[in-house]
Amino acid sequence: MTLRCRVREGSAAFAGRGVSHLWDDETFGAPDPGRTGSINHQRLDRGPVPYERARGLVSGRGLWLVSVIVGVGLGAFSLLADGIVGGRLVGILGNIASPWGLAAFFVGRLATEPKRGSVAGASTLVVGVAVYYLGGALRGYTVGEVDLVWTAIALVVGPAMGWSGAAIASEPERPPILAVAAPSAMLVAEAIFLAIDRRVWHDALLAETYRVIDLGVIVALLVGGVVLPVVFERDRRRRRLVFMLVSLAGAGGSAGFVLLREFIVSLA
């Protein structure tokens, strides 16, 4: 951004500097041979900040601090949604996987490189799981095999989403196709799973109108799955490939959600 200013003749700010003329909306830039005075002209508008510097604004300790803060927020929100704060919408959002995966993805986007993004994503979800089960233990719930399952899932999903975010941030002009497809596939997979699990078809909606909230969440997940590739992949040909991968992985992922639900139920 170019700095502009008005300096009136005789201004106290420039007293004794030999400035006897009026600069009216003068842009600080290359020296003007027709001007006199002892002010050292320097170009303040040096163009956009290099992308590498912009990405590196949150790195090192700052990145891990963000991971911890976001993880604590995830765990606390899920804990509150688990019977402490009422409301069907809060309950759904606090008990589905997509908010956690998206959190790891966006934390990963703050990393300076994909490997660091993977670690940051994993740290975010592991902290979230730890906070959630610590809060559960304080409420009198026991920690068992199901907790280990969710921790294992966090150690898989966290690095994957964190890598995706960092990989896209590292190469915004031509991001890896898998990195663009991963978060969208997660959203679509969970949307399909919720449609099956919550039975949001016509008859059920008429009989139990509260399921409209479930339908709203499903629609939001599907919209997110469509919008993310449009935002992060600018090339239309590559975007079509991304959508194909999202469709396939979304369908397969929904089956994975069903199997995971059955496995967790068998442990409970």
Task: Quote the pLDDT of residue 58.
Answer: 61
Tokens for 118, please give them. Answer: 């993977």
Domains of the chain, by residue range, sit at 1-47, 58-170, 171-258
Residues comprising the chain, all counted? 268
Global pTM value: 0.76
Task: Quote the pLDDT of residue 105.
Answer: 98
Q: Cα separation of 108 and 65, whole Å?
A: 13
**Are 105 and 121 spatial neighbours (Cβ–Cβ below 8 Å)?**
yes
Tokens for 28, please give them. Answer: 């600080």
Backbone Cα Rg of the chain: 26
Give tens-digit pLDDT for 43-97: 444 444 444 444 444 657 899 999 999 999 999 999 999 888 889 999 999 999 9
